């Protein structure tokens, strides 16, 4: 089981574009939400839909501490202060160290959380934290490798402010011998299970079951990413090609002014936000709470055997009628999952799914018929 892997600060930014889940929450207006926590950046933006309650679950206490810190910074800081503290563009993680330290010292965190970040901040000399997760650190290997192969000429891709110009440029470049190496290089590093296993997952990487080889998978994902939006508006492409975020217009949704301010306002209504260290499978069997919206991240890709067959059935006991469940599958689509009681409404949200900025997931959206 992946529990051995999920016991550290693995995610500090967001390797899923939560814009999709935010859009769904703004549409369905759930009063109660259950979400996998991850960096916190994957569930706190859902506050924009003004829920009464959110429970965020994670196996790793480090992820829950990060969510506690994020939540408090949304509450206490204004938008500019939030960007500065975390190191989002136009600021850098390597700037404003003293200001960051002063902000941190003024935050009222739980004692364990404070201790955890005092240690982390002193180990990184008060850098902003968005690249401190193991996944984000692993990502920085890719750009270094790519730069070696193609010499950094891809910076031009991020200069376009118009989709047609970007398309024309990439079309021309795709016939260029050097540029043909790009998807292959990305695949060799980023799309290689052995690489991830060695660097990050220590043998607990998902067992791929989607058809096609890794090269086709990443090639198609990159095609969608470049065709469906400007590279400079995509934080994931920036991380992948530059090892950092550079353009504020590409910031993840938590660092976009409209969403940030809506979340800040929602916090004024004192919603109940519980950060719980538990396994979603165990939690769904024992909780007395019921939910209107569940965001499962790609956690079900790690399920095996009875868990992948029954997890949606186990969740039924904690769902309100018409509840929405969002599942992301990364490389592995859970096999034989029983869908009794659910309607698959994925196609109704095809447009929002196409705009998702990471495009490495098969996304499924279910409505509980109740």
Ligand X SMILES: C[S@@+](CC[C@H](N)C(=O)[O-])C[C@H]1O[C@@H](n2cnc3c(N)ncnc32)[C@H](O)[C@@H]1O
Q: What CA–CA distance (Å, rounded) separates 368 from 178?
A: 49
Told to check if 11 binds ligand X by CB under 6 A, we report yes
Q: What CA–CA distance (Å, rounded) separates 267 from 49?
A: 11
The residue count for the chain: 370
Told to check if 36 binds ligand X by CB under 6 A, we report yes
Told to check if 251 binds ligand X by CB under 6 A, we report no
Told to check if 14 binds ligand X by CB under 6 A, we report no
Told to check if 221 binds ligand X by CB under 6 A, we report no
CB of 16 to ligand X, least distance (A): 6
Gyration radius of the chain over CA positions: 20
CB of 330 to ligand X, least distance (A): 5
Told to check if 63 binds ligand X by CB under 6 A, we report yes
Cα 28–chain centre separation: 21
Stretch that binds ligand X, among 90-98, 163-171, 174-182, 296-304 (CB under 6 A): 296-304
Told to check if 2 binds ligand X by CB under 6 A, we report yes
Told to check if 276 binds ligand X by CB under 6 A, we report no
CB of 133 to ligand X, least distance (A): 9
Using the rule CB under 6 A, which residue among 15, 49, 138, 251 binds ligand X?
15
Q: What CA–CA distance (Å, rounded) separates 312 from 337?
A: 7
- Interaction with ligand X in 324-343: which residues (CB under 6 A)? 330
Q: Which residue, judged by CB position, is nearest to ligand X in the bound state?
A: 6
Number of residues forming the site for ligand X (CB under 6 A): 21
Stretch that binds ligand X, among 137-145, 250-258, 293-301, 343-351 (CB under 6 A): 293-301
**Phi then psi for 78, rounded to 5 degrees?**
-85, 180
169: exposed, middle or buried (Cβ count in 10 Å: 0-12, 13-18, 19+): middle
Stretch that binds ligand X, among 53-61, 78-86, 123-131, 233-241 (CB under 6 A): 53-61
Told to check if 59 binds ligand X by CB under 6 A, we report yes
Cα angle: 358, vertex 89, 54; to 5 degrees: 60
Told to check if 12 binds ligand X by CB under 6 A, we report no
Binding site for ligand X (CB under 6 A): 2, 6, 10-11, 15-16, 36, 38, 57-60, 63, 279-281, 297-299, 302, 330
């Amino acid at each position: 089981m992946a529990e051995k892997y999920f016991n550290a600060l693995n995610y500090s930014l967001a390797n899923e574009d939560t814009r999709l889940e935010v859009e769904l929450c703004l549409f369905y207006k759930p009063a109660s939400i259950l979400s996998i926590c991850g960096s916190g950046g994957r569930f706190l933006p859902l506050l924009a839909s003004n829920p009464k309650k959110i429970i965020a679950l994670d196996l790793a206490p480090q992820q829950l501490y990060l969510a506690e810190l994020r939540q408090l910074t949304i509450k206490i800081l204004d938008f500019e202060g939030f960007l500065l503290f975390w190191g989002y563009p136009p600021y850098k993680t390597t700037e404003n160290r003293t200001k960051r330290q002063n902000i941190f010292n003024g935050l009222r965190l739980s004692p364990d959380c404070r201790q955890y970040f005092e240690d982390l901040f002193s180990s990184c000399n008060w850098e902003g934290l968005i690249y401190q997760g193991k996944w984000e650190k692993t990502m920085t290997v890719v750009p270094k490798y790519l730069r070696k192969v193609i010499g950094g000429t891809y910076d031009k891709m991020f200069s376009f402010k118009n989709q047609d110009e970007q398309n024309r440029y990439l079309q021309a470049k795709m016939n260029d011998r050097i540029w043909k190496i790009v998807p292959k290089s990305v695949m060799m590093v980023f799309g290689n299970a052995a690489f991830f296993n060695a660097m990050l997952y220590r043998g607990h990487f998902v067992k791929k079951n989607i058809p096609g080889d890794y090269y086709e998978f990443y090639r198609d994902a990159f095609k969608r990413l470049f065709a469906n939006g400007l590279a400079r508006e995509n934080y994931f492409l920036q991380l992948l090609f530059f090892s950092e975020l550079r353009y504020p217009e590409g910031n993840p949704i938590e660092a976009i002014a409209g969403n940030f301010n809506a979340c800040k306002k929602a916090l004024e209504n004192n919603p109940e936000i519980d950060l719980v260290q538990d396994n979603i499978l165990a939690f769904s069997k024992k909780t007395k709470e019921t939910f209107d919206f569940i965001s499962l991240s790609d956690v079900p890709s790690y399920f095996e055997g009875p868990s992948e067959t029954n997890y949606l059935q186990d969740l039924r006991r904690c769902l309100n009628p018409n509840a929405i469940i969002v599942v992301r599958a990364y490389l592995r689509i859970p096999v034989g999952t029983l869908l009794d009681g659910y309607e698959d409404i994925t196609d109704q949200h095809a447009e929002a799914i196409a705009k998702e900025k990471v495009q490495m997931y098969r996304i499924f959206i279910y409505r509980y018929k109740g």
